[in-house]
Amino acid sequence: MIDARVQTLSLKATPDAVTQTMRQVRALLVTLHPDNAGVCMNAELVLAEILNNIVEHGYAPGALGEIEIQLSMKDNCILMRTCDGGCAMPGLSLPDPDQPDLDVDLSDLPEGGFGWFMIRALARNLSYERKADRNRICLEIPPG
């Protein structure tokens, strides 16, 4: 069953715009899935991580970029798609799915890599494509 309620949001690729948009997203997620706060929280965590990655790594500092978000429901899952015109992901693929090695001295812990591990743990059917100078990330947040 596909829910006809598809919500589309656009934002500037800035930290402040991400913060403001995530307030809107929180309200939208509750309307899409009012009976499951856990799936809404997981969707919010995943989307915030993706948006922050786009802002931090996709666009050069000071560049004027745009991000589009699409949220909908299908079979009790929250579907998400982000689209942006920032830099392509290295190797035109999603980052390595392995969790960073935590069995190291605190000073040797890697700076990054934890966000994508979290995204992969909470999402399914995660995909990335680069087409016509646009990045598109699609995923599902399952219930439960």
User: Which pLDDT tens digit goes with each residue over 5-57?
Assistant: 789 999 999 999 999 999 999 998 888 777 888 889 999 999 999 999 999 99
CATH, domain 7-141, list 3.30.565.10, 3.20.20.70, 1.10.10.10, 3.40.50.720: 3.30.565.10
Residue ranges of domains in the chain: 7-141
Question: Percent of the chain beyond pLDDT 70?
Answer: 85
pTM of the model: 0.87
Backbone angles phi, psi at 101, to 5 degrees: -70, 120
Using CA atoms, how far apart are residues 55 and 57, in angstroms rounded to an integer?
6
Beta bridge partners of 83: 68, 136
